Chain A
Amino acid sequence: MTLVRYLVRRVYHSIPTLVGALLFIFILVRVLPGDPARLIAGPEALEEDVQRIREQLGLNKPIHTQFIDYVTAVLKGDFGRSIKFGTPVINEILFRLPYTIILALVAEAIAIAIALPLGIISALRPKSKTSYIASVISLIGASTPVFWIALILIYIFSVSLKLLPSSGADSPRHIILPAITLSLVLMGNLTRITRSSVIEVLSSNHVLTALAKGLKDRIVITRHVLKNALIPIITIMGLQVGNLLGGAVITETVFAWPGIGSLLIDAIFFRDYVLVQGIILFMVLVFIIVNIVVDVIYAYVDPRIRDVLWRMS
């Protein structure tokens, strides 16, 4: 019950953020160069056709009326119709969403599977080979631009070895390269955070208490080091997944992966401002939800935070 109360309160407190985001998106889209009505009408259209389209879109109304219309529609769950496709924006997003979700999850899973053990071992055995590998991976992840990683992988696996497809989403094999690209970027960060978090907990005083009880090293490590070290790691994982669910713009574009990220790029190039608005709003929503989920997981692991959160609700 406390959890439900907490969630209700969190959603309620998200409203100002949401309204702020709506206003920001609305203004941003309108100050972007280019006239959507003219774009839709085509380069050879007559001035009256353009005017007609402008009226259809409501672009001739005063700006504050447009904003009120927009917010009212959004609150009703109506994200508008895409200018380019003529379909409801929500449909476009929902159609692309599964691709983005699967890419995000596979990439994060690969990153976790490699970064967590690597970070932990390199913290426990700082002079081992593993520790060296971990440093290299952190460095690559932190210093190499994602498109560069993507191009190198494409060159190796698609162009030279002809092993994997480099664009599209026609078969399960298509996800391999974009997922590895993304996971390499995530891995660097995750390895670094894991290592530093474990090192920090290792030197903390409660570990000395655990040793003083005569507990086995294995139990001290799993129970009193790793579980504590997990707290900051969870935050990073949550934020990473949150970011990815908003669409990995560069990776999706390079690999022509039909997710939210490449949809956004299309929408921007086509001046499909309704679609742009919809996608950015969707990203804001994802961000808010992921933050709430991370806090709940956090509270589950750390009783101090649990107390504070639950008490406030």
Chain B
Amino acid sequence: MEKVLEILGLRVYYELPQGTVKAVDGVDLDVFKGEILGIAGESGSGKSTLALTIAGLLRPPAKVISGKVLFRGIDILRLSNDELRSIRGRKIGIIFQDPVTYLNPIYTVGFQVGEVFEAHRGGKILKYLNEVINLFKAVKIGDPERRVYSYPHQLSGGMKQRVLISMAIAEKPELIVADEPTSALDVTIQAEIVELLNEIRKELNTSIVFITHDLALLLEIADRIAVMYAGKLVEVGKTYEIYKDPLHPYTKALISVLRYERKRRPTPIKGSIPSLINPPPGCRFHPRCPYVLPKCSQVDPKLVNVNGRYVSCLLVGGSDGGGS
């Protein structure tokens, strides 16, 4: 399969006065053409940091410590500001979680969407009015001819999210990173937005990295799922395989919570996500892992291929962290 994105050994830290937050700490991940890759993880596991890195939008105090992010073979971490700018919004689009704060309150939404064309094709924004109206139609914003003149505060949350989506797809990018695009919306609107993203994927053959803490949602739309825990990936595989047979103890716990929820008996995982300033030694999940072994607090398991699935656990695939 054709790779659109290839992340290799990526580490992104936040250097703060109180310590270094290891938000993304050794991530390897591929994104294939036309797929929806889901990234699931608890709050604070580093999902947004990963999303911003892929979109080339990291800002201080974030710092790339090591690794590569190859987009079509080009390492976007090593591009100049100008080169990066020509990719942002044109080749890679991003959709953020909170449609309220991600739009500028003092410009009309039509103007803000038109800016994408202005940035990459030049000329006056007004010139692109028809394109913007067509985009609004594509993302199913009713009455687009009038809506382009609306200000963000005049639109509902779902409508604003559609505006942000129309921005991300304006230049038909090859990759869209959606960072919790539905978390701030009502359930019914959530479903519509998910459906819309799915349609866009089919129509443009775009790859979508869909980030959420809601694994159940990913089971419905993702082709593959990557599970993130405390700055690392613990398991990556095809959605139905992960659902049917989760291999990593953390994934097992998440899936069992989902199954129990269906029987209305939720049993959440004990404990909470560790500090990313001082993560636990060895396997980061060991303080919460029901299968923990003595060596788990000493050896940091590597992500290894187990019959096409990637898992990082000392119990699985004979991985002993020595890189076997």
Interface of A toward B, CB cutoff 8 Å: 204-206, 208-217, 219, 223-224, 227-228, 301-304, 307
Contact status of A212 and B93, CB under 8 A, knowing A304-B151, A307-B154: yes
Which single residue of chain B is at the shortest CB-CB distance from A211?
Answer: B57
Residues of A contacting B112 with CB < 8 Å?
209
With A208-B57, A304-B151 as given contacts, are A214 and B104 in contact (CB-CB < 8 Å)? no
- B106 CB contacts on chain A under 8 angstroms: 227-228, 301-303
Given that A303-B106, A303-B153 are contacting pairs, would A213 and B115 also be in contact in the complex, using a CB cutoff of 8 Å? yes
Interface positions, chain B 47-98, Cβ under 8 Å from A, are 55, 57, 81, 85-90, 93-94, 96, 98
Evaluate whether A213 and B104 lie within 8 angstroms (CB atoms) in the complex, with A307-B153, A307-B154 already known: no
Give the chain A neighbours of B119 by CB distance below 8 A: 213-216, 219
- Contacting residues, chain B, for A307 (C-beta < 8 A): 151, 153-154
Q: Which of B55, B107, B151 contacts A212 (CB 8 A)?
A: B55
Whole-angstrom CA separation of A216 from B153 in the bound complex: 26
Interface string of B155-178 (1 = CB under 8 A from A): 000000000100110000000000
CA of A224 to CA of B102, assembled, Å: 11
In the complex, how many angstroms separate the beta carbon of A305 from the nearest chain B beta carbon? 10
Chain A residues closer than 8 Å to B90, beta-carbon distance = 214
Please measure, in the bound complex, the distance between the C-alpha atom of A204 and the C-alpha atom of B55, giving whole angstroms: 17
Assess whether B101 is interfacial by the CB under 8 Å rule: yes
Instruction: Indicate if the CB atoms of B153 and A212 lie closer than 8 Å.
Output: no
Closest beta carbon of chain A to B110's beta carbon, Å: 13
User: What's the dominant secondary structure at chain A's contact region?
Assistant: helix
Output the nearest chain B residue to A212 by Cβ-Cβ distance.
B94
By a CB distance below 8 angstroms, the chain B residues around A214 are 85-90, 116, 119-120
Residues of B within 8 A of A216 (CB): 85, 119
Closest 7 CB pairs between A and B? A214-B89, A205-B101, A213-B89, A214-B88, A206-B104, A303-B151, A214-B119
Question: Which residues of chain A are near B132, meaning CB under 8 Å?
Answer: none
- Nearest chain A CB to B206 CB, angstrom units: 16
Asked if B296 is at the interface (CB within 8 A of a chain A CB), the reply is no
Q: Are B88 and A213 in contact (CB under 8 A)?
A: yes
Query: Is A212 in contact with B115, judged by CB distance below 8 angstroms?
Result: no
| Chain B residues closer than 8 Å to A302, beta-carbon distance | 105-106
A302 to B107, CA, bound (A): 9
- In the complex, the answer to whether A303 meets B96 with C-beta atoms within 8 Å is no
B116–A213 CB distance below 8 A = yes
- In the bound complex, how far is the Cα of B98 from the Cα of A56, in angstroms? 71
7 contacting pairs across A/B (C-beta < 8 A): A209-B102, A212-B88, A213-B116, A215-B89, A215-B119, A228-B104, A304-B153
Please determine whether B164 and A209 come into contact, CB atoms closer than 8 angstroms.
yes
Q: How far is the CB of B149 from chain A (nearest CB, A)?
A: 11
A267 to chain B, nearest CB (A): 45
Which residue in chain A gives the minimum CB-CB distance to B92?
A: A212
Chain A residues in 8 Å Cβ range of B115: 210, 213, 215
List residues of B (24-62) whose CB comes within 8 Å of A's CBs.
55, 57
Contacts of B102 in A (CB 8 A): 205-206, 208-209
Q: What residues on A are CB-neighbors of B88 within 8 Å? A: 211-214
- In this complex, what residue of B is CB-closest to A205? B101
Does B103 make an interface contact (CB < 8 A)?
A: yes
Q: Give CA–CA (A219, B94) in the complex, Å.
A: 19
Fill in one digit per residue for B103-125: 1 if any A CB lies within 8 Å of its CB, else 0. 11111000010011011100000
A210 to B103, CA, bound (A): 9
* Shortest distance between the CB of A227 and any CB in chain B (Å): 6
Distance between B152 CB and nearest chain A CB, rounded to angstroms:
8
Residues of A near B164 (CB, < 8 A) are: 209
Please indicate the chain B residues that have their CB under 8 angstroms from the CB of A228 in the complex.
104-106
Q: Chain B contacts of A219 at CB under 8 A?
A: 119
Q: A212-B93, A228-B106 are in contact. List 18 more A-B contacts (CB 8 A).
A: A204-B101, A205-B101, A208-B96, A210-B104, A211-B57, A211-B88, A212-B168, A213-B89, A213-B115, A214-B88, A215-B89, A215-B118, A223-B107, A228-B104, A228-B105, A301-B106, A303-B106, A303-B153
Q: Which of A208, A228, A301 has the most CB of B within 10 A?
A: A208
A225 nearest CB across to chain B (Å): 10
Expressed in whole angstroms, the minimum distance between the Cβ of B49 and any Cβ of chain A is 13
C-alpha spacing A129/B182, complex, angstroms: 44
Known interface pairs A214-B88, A216-B85, A307-B154. Does A205 touch B98 (Cβ–Cβ under 8 Å)? yes
Closest Cβ of chain B to A148, distance in Å, is 37
Q: Is B101's CB under 8 angstroms from A206's CB?
A: yes
Q: How far is the CA of A205 from the CA of B100 in the complex (A)?
A: 9
Specify which chain A residues have a CB less than 8 angstroms from the CB of B94 in the assembled complex: 212
Q: In the complex, what distance in Å separates the CA atom of A227 from the CA atom of B106?
A: 9
Assembly CA distance A37 to B289 (angstroms)? 92
Q: Given the complex of chains A and B, what is the CA–CA distance between A258 and B137 in angstroms?
A: 65
In the complex, what distance in Å separates the CA atom of A50 from the CA atom of B81? Answer: 83
Tell me, in angstroms, the Cα distance from A212 to B96 when the chains sit together: 10
**How far apart are A298's CB and chain B's nearest CB, in angstroms?**
11
